[in-house]
Structure 1
């Protein structure tokens, strides 16, 4: 297999988003600010979706796909250089959501689709694990849900309606971005 022509994601692209955040007055209650943060998250999810699609279409093998994911993860999950504590916290929230996107993609590439239950069952089990403070298990179960999403299962966000906000809600929020990216991997322009 030859290397794909396109670059899936770059450090420069991530830095462009961070620069936009740095330059703007961010208020998570404000619709434009919330959209900017969601676009940041969706943009990374789209890159992950493109890697998965390239893998599923045999354009790259599992090793190349895992290398690409590792490269993006290292860029996206590194500590951003922000003076503003509030913005740092907001970026951290996006990064937390994306942790599960990366784990799900890696698990899908390494082990295939988790098949013990459906996507809702995995999310509910992850919520229970978080309530028991078993965060490793909660992340693992969330990633299993993510492999189901990658395989085409529909993630209904209503599953979180009665769930207290926490890590699983953040992770599932990331999976929602991945689901959107897989169904419609349109590039989000980082300079609009």
Structure 2
């Protein structure tokens, strides 16, 4: 196996996004602010999609793919330094959405595709687990749904339309970013 030429994601890239957030007036109700947060999330999902693709194409083995994911996860899920509590909360929301992206990718590489049921059924079971306050099970089930998304099954976001906002809806939001990244892994410029 030849080492890939590119770095999948860097701490500098993540910091560039955080610097943009620091510099801008962020209002989640504002379309531009919402777009910036979504781009931040999508950018990480694209990096994860590239690792998955490199793994599936045989360019990197499972161990290297897992290490790459761990490196990105460490950067992205570390506590950012913000003086602004509101911005910190918004970044935390993005990080929460990405937790399931990482778990799904790791599960896919380590164990393959969860094949007991459909994406939708896994998500609904995760919603039930969250309502019973079994968050580990909820995350596990959402990650199972994520492995199916990675495998090409479509995640229809209407599955969570009537679900009360919570961790599962955040995680599914992350899977939606991953689904988009897998279908169109165009790099989002962090400096536009």
Tell me which interval the TM-score lies in, with the shorter structure as reference length.
over 0.9
Unaligned segments of structure 2, at least 5 residues: none
What is the rounded CA distance, in whole Å, between the counterparts of 1:73 and 1:66 in structure 2? Answer: 10
CA RMSD of the aligned region, Å? 0.3
TM-score, normalization: structure 1?
A: 1.00
How many matched pairs?
192
1:2, distance to aligned residue in structure 2 (A): 2.2
* Cα offsets for 1:128-174 (capped at 9, x unmatched): 00000000000000000000000000000000011000000000000
**Structure-1 residue corresponding to 2:31:** 31
Q: Structure 1 residue 168 and structure 2 residue 161: aligned?
A: no
After the TM superposition, which residues 79-158 of structure 1 pair with which residues of structure 2 at under 5 Å, given as runs? Answer: 79-158=79-158
Q: Structure 1 residue 177 and structure 2 residue 167: aligned?
A: no
What is the rounded CA distance, in whole Å, between the counterparts of 1:191 and 1:2 in structure 2? Answer: 30
TM-score, normalization: structure 2?
A: 1.00
Unaligned segments of structure 1, at least 5 residues: none
**Structure-1 residue corresponding to 2:46:** 46
What is the rounded CA distance, in whole Å, between the counterparts of 1:189 and 1:136 in structure 2? Answer: 34
1:3, distance to aligned residue in structure 2 (A): 1.4
What is the rounded CA distance, in whole Å, between the counterparts of 1:185 and 1:85 in structure 2? Answer: 32
* Cα offsets for 1:34-92 (capped at 9, x unmatched): 00000000000000000000000000000000000000000000000000000000000
